[in-house]
Structure 1
Amino acid sequence: MKRFFFLAILLWSANTRAQQAPALKLITCEGKAQGTYYLVKYLSADTTSMDKRIDSLFGVIDQSLSLYKPGSAINRFNETGHITMDEHMKAVIQKALFTSKATSGLFDITVKPLVYLWGFGVTKPSFKGVPPPDSIKAAMSYIGYRYLRVKGDQLYAAKKGVQIDCNGIAQGYTVDVIGHFLSQQGIDNYLVDVGGELCAKGHNHQHKVWSVGIERPSPGDTAYEPVQGLVRLPGKGIATSGNYRRFFDQGRTRFAHTIHPGTGVALHNNIISVTVIAKDCFTADAFDNPLILMGVEKGLTFIAQHPEYGLEAIYIYKDKDGAIKEAFSKGFKAYMEF
């Protein structure tokens, strides 16, 4: 009888807590920022919109890292070769330098002169297409992450004329900043998407791990007419680099906006895209460009040889016969819903 009474109390207590707990609702915030879209989904009992607070986060980060914003910290550094970094710039610079060392310089934020030379910057060059070899050679004299010096909050250029472009990493950082903001508000279940770079935590409104779509080739595809694949993100970040976002075609060659820091030449290999999963979007975004420059075999070998970075990836590429293929790192398939 006592055991039954005790069980009844437990059931009553559990039911009372369930009745007292406010129902979580799916809230969606969306808009435009950093030259692209953003979409934030989260579960909360409070339906008050966070659009304005999220927009303000974009504004603060843009004031630090946007090349499109006059007077931003990054533009002031590029003008003077010195800046006192705020917390956002410092975090991004430190991550960039770490990734540069980890990839033997394949990731390098000093590529700004090359990005502009190839026509992918804020301002366009006077010519269109592949730059002249002498122009590439001249720009290469300012390329090298080792020209950057960090002393506390101070960032210096060790050579006059060295400039930086953080667009290859800042978006992933922004995704994680928004995710951290949501966590600070007591939100444990969310998905943040900024221009296709994403992070997730917890579960969705169906009590399932958040899933996101990625493009995969159809079997036997030769024209790359992709089908949608789903990837689960259990507390992870995901980022994609590819030759289909910003590019130009010259002859039969497609040149994409990712620039090889060692050669000064825009990406023009057989890879369509690489999608990277990591512990956070910041890390995934930092490594997706180096991995696409490495190519399929070297990229997958790099991931296998460096488990400390926690990377998994899927490559979509054309083989020598022009067929569209995909290749995975060892652990990537565990995230996929086939």
Structure 2
Amino acid sequence: MKKILLSGLLLLSLTTYAQQPKSKLMAYEGKAQGTYYIIKYLSADTTNIQHSIDSIFNVIDESLSLYLPGSAINRFNNSGEIEMDEHMKIVVEKALFANRATKGLFDITVEPLVYLWGFGVHKPTFKGIPPKDSINYALAHTGSRYLKITGNKLVTTKKNVRIDCNGIAQGYTVDVLGRYLGQLGIENYLVDVGGELCAKGYNVQHKTWSIGIERPSPGDTTYEPIQGLVRLPDKGIATSGNYRRFFDQGKTRFAHTINPQTGIALHNNIISVTVIAADCFTADAFDNPLILMGVKKGIQFVEQHPEYGLAAMYIYKDGDGLIKEAFSNNFKQYMEE
């Protein structure tokens, strides 16, 4: 009797499984926030969600885009105060947290410095290294200590302080898109906005989602990278480097990451730093400060602050010009050999 009952239950289970709709790989890609996006997920529901994806980008742009004249961030920069919407408040509060955590190496009030170095929305009137007096003037108006939040209201306590959230907003957008997919009941997805990513669950091969990263070839001096793979088990990842936006003056390359304490654009020996965290928002908040810290201090920071849940990989040039890589102790667990 037991065998008959078990056989019946097994048959019912197999029949139920066979009747379940099969998940399909869905993919959307396009342009947004000045870059590309790719969204992949597994779902039995093949309803087109392109309109919703576009709406999410549009709403965040209306809040945080420096390229949109009427955005909330531009209204704040023009007036010095604003009643923040939900997106702006979350991003600004996270930025202030990262500012405290990195002792000022992450600072959204770098907008005047970003403009001076030619990496802002509007190009400056000159090219190359800005004059020292211009840098000093911008530095005098840089510092998160000049920002004050009361309820939903953000104000500056010093005139001409302006903010730029581009160093963190993209990671936030990635997580917002991921949460939207979760609200649809989607448990397996990968979201990529301009190289900042978050992943959850499994891909179509029922393996943890993997992404490609560039790694140096042995003995490389020109940085002709080979492809490596990183597994993302319900994590976010962000990369900062000197290969996206930069200019060369003499033998020095100046990248778009600005040190808010010195006012100088990044020009060290680091090619890139890749950061893995519990979410892309956090990874994006720490990648710029870690590249400014340098390899040794950056890895020390990651390992001395486990409360932030960070893992980091650096690609850099050593004293002989060889391109090498260095990892925090917990990064290699995500790499495929």
Q: Which TM-score tier does this pair reach, normalised by the shorter chain?
A: over 0.9
Does the CA-based 8 Å contact 1:82-1:157 persist in structure 2?
yes
What's the offset of the Cα at 1:137? 0.5
What's the offset of the Cα at 1:149? 0.3
Q: TM-score, normalised by structure 1?
A: 0.99
1:27 paired with 2:50, answer no
What's the offset of the Cα at 1:262? 0.4
What's the offset of the Cα at 1:48? 1.9
Structure 1 match to 2:14 = 15
Structure 2 match to 1:316 = 315
Q: Answer with 243-252 or 46-55: which moved more.
A: 46-55
User: In 2, distance between residues paired with 1:10 and 1:270?
Assistant: 64
What's the offset of the Cα at 1:166? 0.1
Structure 1 match to 2:50 = 51
Structure 2 match to 1:120 = 119
Identity %: 72
Structure 1 match to 2:215 = 216
User: In 1, distance between residues paired with 2:282 and 2:220?
Assistant: 31
What is the 5 A alignment of 1:56-135? 56-135=55-134
Does the CA-based 8 Å contact 1:198-1:237 persist in structure 2?
yes
For each residue in 1:250-273, what CA deviation from the matched residue of structure 2 results, as whole angstroms up to 9, or x when unmatched? 000000000000000000000000
User: In 1, distance between residues paired with 2:147 and 2:54?
Assistant: 31
For each residue in 1:132-184, what CA deviation from the matched residue of structure 2 results, as whole angstroms up to 9, or x when unmatched? 11110111110001100011100010101000000000000000000000000
User: In 1, distance between residues paired with 2:29 and 2:50?
Assistant: 7
User: In 2, distance between residues paired with 1:290 and 1:17?
Assistant: 52
Does the CA-based 8 Å contact 1:312-1:331 persist in structure 2?
yes
Secondary structure of the residue aligned to 2:313 is strand
User: In 2, distance between residues paired with 1:9 and 1:89?
Assistant: 56
Structure 2 match to 1:206 = 205
Secondary structure of the residue aligned to 2:220 is coil
Does the CA-based 8 Å contact 1:30-1:51 persist in structure 2?
no
What's the offset of the Cα at 1:90? 0.5
User: In 2, distance between residues paired with 1:10 and 1:302?
Assistant: 55
Note the residue ranges of structure 2 that are not aligned, 5 or more in a row. Answer: none
What's the offset of the Cα at 1:5? 1.4
What is the 5 A alignment of 1:158-307? 158-307=157-306
Q: TM-score, normalised by structure 2?
A: 0.99
Aligned-partner residue type, residue 31 of structure 1:
G
Secondary structure of the residue aligned to 2:105 is coil
Q: Answer with 48-57 or 197-206: which moved more.
A: 48-57
Q: Answer with 8-17 or 266-275: which moved more.
A: 8-17
Aligned-partner residue type, residue 80 of structure 1:
S
For each residue in 1:21-68, what CA deviation from the matched residue of structure 2 results, as whole angstroms up to 9, or x when unmatched? 110000000110000000000011111221111011000000000000
Secondary structure of the residue aligned to 2:25 is strand
Secondary structure of the residue aligned to 1:225 is coil
What is the root-mean-square deviation in Å for CA atoms of aligned residues? 0.6
Say how many residue pairs are matched.
337
What's the offset of the Cα at 1:7? 1.7
Q: Answer with 49-58 or 182-191: which moved more.
A: 49-58
Aligned-partner residue type, residue 267 of structure 2:
H
Does the CA-based 8 Å contact 1:143-1:261 persist in structure 2?
yes
Note the residue ranges of structure 1 that are not aligned, 5 or more in a row. Answer: none
Aligned-partner residue type, residue 158 of structure 1:
T
What's the offset of the Cα at 1:234? 0.5
What's the offset of the Cα at 1:14? 1.5
Q: Answer with 7-16 or 246-255: which moved more.
A: 7-16
What's the offset of the Cα at 1:9? 2.0
For each residue in 1:168-205, what CA deviation from the matched residue of structure 2 results, as whole angstroms up to 9, or x when unmatched? 00000000000000000010000000000000000001
User: In 2, distance between residues paired with 1:48 and 1:29?
Assistant: 12
What's the offset of the Cα at 1:16? 1.8
What's the offset of the Cα at 1:306? 0.2
Aligned-partner residue type, residue 271 of structure 2:
I
User: In 1, distance between residues paired with 2:202 and 2:167?
Assistant: 28
Aligned-partner residue type, residue 81 of structure 2:
H
User: In 2, distance between residues paired with 1:297 and 1:13?
Assistant: 59
User: In 2, distance between residues paired with 1:220 and 1:140?
Assistant: 40
Does the CA-based 8 Å contact 1:201-1:235 persist in structure 2?
yes
For each residue in 1:73-107, what CA deviation from the matched residue of structure 2 results, as whole angstroms up to 9, or x when unmatched? 00000000000011100000010000000000000
